[in-house]
Amino acid sequence: MILKEDGTLWACGKNNHGELVDGTTTDRNTPKQIMTDVASVAAGGWHTLILKNDGTLWACGYNNYGQLGDGTTTDRSSPKKMTDGVAKISAGITHTLFIKTDGTLWGVGSDDFGALAQASILSSTTYITYPKQLMVGVADVAAGSNYTEILKVDGTLWACGDGGYGGLGTGSTATYNWTPKLVTSNVSKVSEFCDHT
């Protein structure tokens, strides 16, 4: 996903689930313009999130866990509006996270390993198909493979999800961390990919 200075969004590469946002499932080896007036973009495992300048969040691609936030588990090759009032976005492998302008953190998609902090292992449903508010007072967020790092406005960093490789940074490799746990403080930015932070 390529965001140009003029706000146009371009895409190329694999497109099995429609993640290139062009209305097809055809792979592309050269970039194609797919949208205008874009503020930021996040590429997940097989889904794409697009934040427009007006604060609306759009999504398309793989949706087996409801990560497109449209109430279904149906893949989409054309973008559909998820919500509005969004300030920041992050896409994991099978979950989606976004921060609204009021500092609330929302999530949708797979919670199999606690990435959405919903303790859904206790129920028969391990995914959420509509965005759900997870936390308040959030400044930044990073979605990994099956876990989440949350930076609060006070500079504290919190983590939840699959800690099997130590990527949570909590000092534990516990399989599941269903509630966010404090990692460290005085943090200004966070980033993660797959299993490292």
Reduce the secondary structure of 60-78 to three states and give it as a string: EECCCCCCCCCCCCCCEEE
Could you report the per-residue pLDDT of 19-41, keeping only the tens digit for each? 999 999 999 999 999 999 999 99
> Do residues 39 and 54 lie in contact, with contact meaning Cβ atoms separated by under 8 Å?
no
Could you report the per-residue pLDDT of 93-139, keeping only the tens digit for each? 999 999 999 999 999 999 878 888 776 555 556 789 999 999 999 99
Could you list the beta-strand ranges (E) of the chain.
2-3, 9-13, 28-35, 38-43, 47-52, 57-61, 76-83, 86-91, 95-100, 105-110, 127-135, 138-143, 147-152, 157-161, 177-184
Give me the pLDDT at residue 57, please: 98
Give me the pLDDT at residue 169, please: 76
Please, which pLDDT band fits residue 177 given cuts at 50, 70 and 90?
Answer: confident
Give me the pLDDT at residue 163, please: 73
Give me the residues paired with residue 181 across strands.
Answer: 159
Closest CA to 193 of 50, 89, 92: 92
Residues 167-190: what's their mean pLDDT? 82
Model pTM greater than 0.75? yes
Please, which pLDDT band fits residue 60 given cuts at 50, 70 and 90?
Answer: very high
In the chain, the percentage of residues whose pLDDT exceeds 70 is 94
Give me the pLDDT at residue 194, please: 67
In the numeric block, which tokens belong to residue 116?
């959405």
Model confidence at 53: pLDDT above 70: yes
- Arithmetic mean of pLDDT over the chain: 90
* 3-class DSSP string for 115-151: CCCCCHHHCCCCEEEEEEEEECCEEEEEECCCEEEEE
